Amino acid sequence: MMKPTNARYGVVGLALALAMIMYVQRVAISQAIVPISADLHLDRTEAGMVLGAFGLSYALFEIPMGLLGDKLGVRWVLSQLVLVWSMFTALTGAAWNLTSMWIVRFLFGAGEAGCFPNLTRMLSAWLPLSERVRAQALMWAFGRWGGALAPPVAFYVIYHFGWRWGFVALAMLGVLWVAAFLPWFRNDPAEHKSVNAEELAMLEGARQLVLHDHGKPWYKLLIQRDIAILGLQYFAFSYTWYFYVTWLPTWLQDARHLDAGIASGYAMVPLALGGCGSIVSGFLPMWVPRKWVAVGGFAATAILIFIIPHAPGVAMPMILMGIASFCDLMEHLCGDRQAVYRHRRLDHEHAGQFRRLRGPGGIRADPEFDQQQLDHRDVHDGGGRDRLGRVLAVPGPRQRQHRQGVAVGRGAGSLTLKQRTYA
């Protein structure tokens, strides 16, 4: 009997590469927002609006883009989306004022909104369940590691080319990915010339799960109790996570008085350790109770968030942020897997309702920095206490004054037209 071929691992490789690319392109603006603000004369409120434009469109378009992948197929939809968001990555460098920058970043977010829904569908069709959970954990980890690379990469291209041409250079990563993906990938493993009969037999359950309509509408997921609870988990997760991918380099430069190069190195820490948390949670033995790992991760994150504002210097707060990010990603993915293994009937659809509630989590993250968190009078280590804790805790009345019109975080996921049952 012949051994199964390994074409499915080529699909995994493409998914991991795109997860890294999309996070590099997404997080790069966190490093570039300082020179962008200087060139376009943006104050903190306006900079928050620019950062929030991505999250708003991500929340609005994640479900539609997931449905589009169901209708037209991952191969065509994903390749077009990557080209679209790469185009708007490049056009970020052409913005001339607040309005043009906001529109470009909004449209960039609309394109990236379809990435993870379609990647998840792609892995669901190409991997058996026994391999799918670990592949999802790897995809999350590589996305976070791509985000960790973004600050130093962005600093390098900004230093050598300026922020305008730097975004053009970053856009080319997406074009190169499409050039590799489009000729090779097929929606159905049965249509791929590199898949032999043995590998196809391994994937038959996954193909039936994803490629056939099981007649139940996607919106029925919204009334399931576990989906709603895990959606709240996503909300809390995003509240802290969005600080790392938006304002962290600026906080390091303005509050801790680091130059841009050193700040870009420190900004890698939370995202890099968050990727490690994804790996650990995805590869935990099945006998480990996911629910208690998730609860422990949340508790540890909450404790660390209260400690961080009191930590002196730069290294100690960044180490604590890294540990908090590790715990945050542990609870995030463990909670996600708990739903899958309890019900065994949700595939890539289950991500949707969780992400629907991530958006408000992002709303509560970015505005906290508006004209208060990054004002030297508030963040200086002298007379006033560092206000980072307000970013990651419940906002007060003064902070709520700045909330209007600023930064909406990531949201709405890829609920599809079908509800399916795991084989």
- CA gap 277, 280 in Å, rounded: 5
Residue the block writes with tokens 């376009």: 40
- CA gap 60, 120 in Å, rounded: 19
- CA gap 336, 102 in Å, rounded: 32
- CA gap 378, 7 in Å, rounded: 55
In the three-class reduction of DSSP (H, G, I as helix; E, B as strand; rest coil), residue 58 is classed as helix
Give the pLDDT confidence score for residue 96 in this predicted structure.
96
Each residue's pLDDT, cut to its tens digit, for the chain (423 residues) gives 688 899 999 999 999 999 999 999 998 998 899 899 999 999 989 999 999 899 889 888 988 898 898 889 999 999 999 999 999 999 999 999 999 999 999 999 999 999 988 998 899 889 887 788 788 888 888 888 888 888 888 888 888 889 999 999 999 999 999 999 999 999 989 899 999 988 888 888 777 666 555 555 666 666 777 777 777 777 777 777 778 888 888 889 888 889 888 988 899 999 888 888 888 877 777 777 777 888 888 888 889 988 988 888 899 999 999 998 888 776 555 555 544 444 444 444 444 444 444 544 454 444 444 434 444 333 333 333 333 333 333 333 343 343 333 333 333 333 332 333 222
Listed in sequence order, the residues at least 6 apart from 105 whose beta carbon sits closer than 8 Å to its beta carbon are: 29, 50, 51, 53, 54, 88, 92
Give the pLDDT confidence score for residue 312 in this predicted structure.
87
Give the pLDDT confidence score for residue 332 in this predicted structure.
56
DSSP states of 409-423 as a string? --------S------
The amino acid at residue 408 is: V
In the three-class reduction of DSSP (H, G, I as helix; E, B as strand; rest coil), residue 55 is classed as helix
- Does residue 45 come out as left (phi exceeding 0), alpha (psi in the -120 to 50 range) or beta? alpha
Do the beta carbons of residue 423 and residue 414 sit within 8 Å?
no
- CA gap 255, 276 in Å, rounded: 27
3-state helix, strand, coil split of the chain in percent (to 5) is 75, 0, 25
- What pTM was computed for the model? 0.75
- Cβ burial 372-405 (10 Å sphere, 16+ → b, else e): bbbbeeebeeeeeebbbebbbeebeeebeebbee
Give the pLDDT confidence score for residue 396 in this predicted structure.
38
| Domain annotation for the chain: domains and CATH numbers | 8-400 (1.20.1250.20)
- C-alpha triplet 49, 65, 130: angle, nearest 5°: 115
> What sign results for the dihedral spanned by CA atoms 65, 66, 72, 76?
positive
CA 401 remoteness from chain centre: 28
Furthest C-alpha separation in the chain: 75
In this structure, what token pair is assigned to residue 200? 């196809």
Cα dihedral value 70, 72, 76, 79, nearest 10 = -50
Give the pLDDT confidence score for residue 218 in this predicted structure.
62
Give the pLDDT confidence score for residue 316 in this predicted structure.
93
Do the beta carbons of residue 166 and residue 158 sit within 8 Å?
yes
